[in-house]
Amino acid sequence: MMRLLLCLLISLVIALPVAASEIPEKSRTSLGLYLSASEAYALWQKDPVEVNLLDVRTPEEYIFVGHAPDARNIPKMFMSYEWDAEKKRPVLHPNTEFVGQVEKHYSKNDVLLIMCRSGERGAASVNALAEAGFTRAYNIVDGFEGIMIKDKKSLHFGRRHKNGWKNSGAPWGYPLDPELMYLETKP
């Protein structure tokens, strides 16, 4: 009984709506449409035909870290396999065809739930789509993996275990569907 109450309490905390004041500046968008991963899952679950999941992470993240079911992968950035010593990570290059690739699959009035790793690339994606005339693109502010835990006393310090699609109880996995994956086409 106690375990059931604890699970219920955790699910209630996870499902709290995102307050605009809690959204980091880098995750804010020109459209001002925001959802937590839990809210996005609830919305998608109610109408998976009309509500679209768009995963803008790199193909490597989509394939090897996992993804939401039915999420289409159209990357906002590509990994270059070059190292950025200052940022201590691989260099990312923009997908210059991003908006055009989205337009091949969605209309400007479709509901798009945009997911990246933790909200920043999602915001940049929403802004690019808004500039092209999309009106219903929501940034999932905690992304797929969630926000990094910064408490040095935490067992999970430096990991993304705080929130995000993967940690919210929403379904995710590794099965790949070539119709949803980003597959570069060669001339």
Q: What is the pLDDT of residues 127-178, one digit of tens each?
A: 999 999 999 999 999 999 988 778 888 777 776 677 899 999 999 999 999 9
The model's confidence at residue 19, banded by pLDDT at 50, 70 and 90, is low
* Rounded Cα–Cα distance for residues 61 and 34 (Å): 22
Q: Given this model, what pLDDT does residue 16 score?
A: 42
Residue 64 burial (C-beta neighbours within 10 Å; 0-12, 13-18, 19+): exposed
pLDDT, tens only, 120-129: 999 999 999 9
Residue-averaged pLDDT of the chain: 87
- The correct CATH number of 28-167 out of 3.40.250.10, 3.30.420.10, 3.40.50.280, 2.60.40.1180 is 3.40.250.10
The structure tokens 């995710």 sit at: 172
DSSP 150: -
The model's confidence at residue 55, banded by pLDDT at 50, 70 and 90, is very high
> What is the pLDDT averaged over residues 42-61?
97
Tell me the Ramachandran region of residue 52: left when phi exceeds 0, alpha when psi lies from -120 to 50, beta otherwise: beta
Q: Which residue has the higher pLDDT, 127 or 187?
A: 127
Residue 18 has pLDDT above 70, yes or no: no
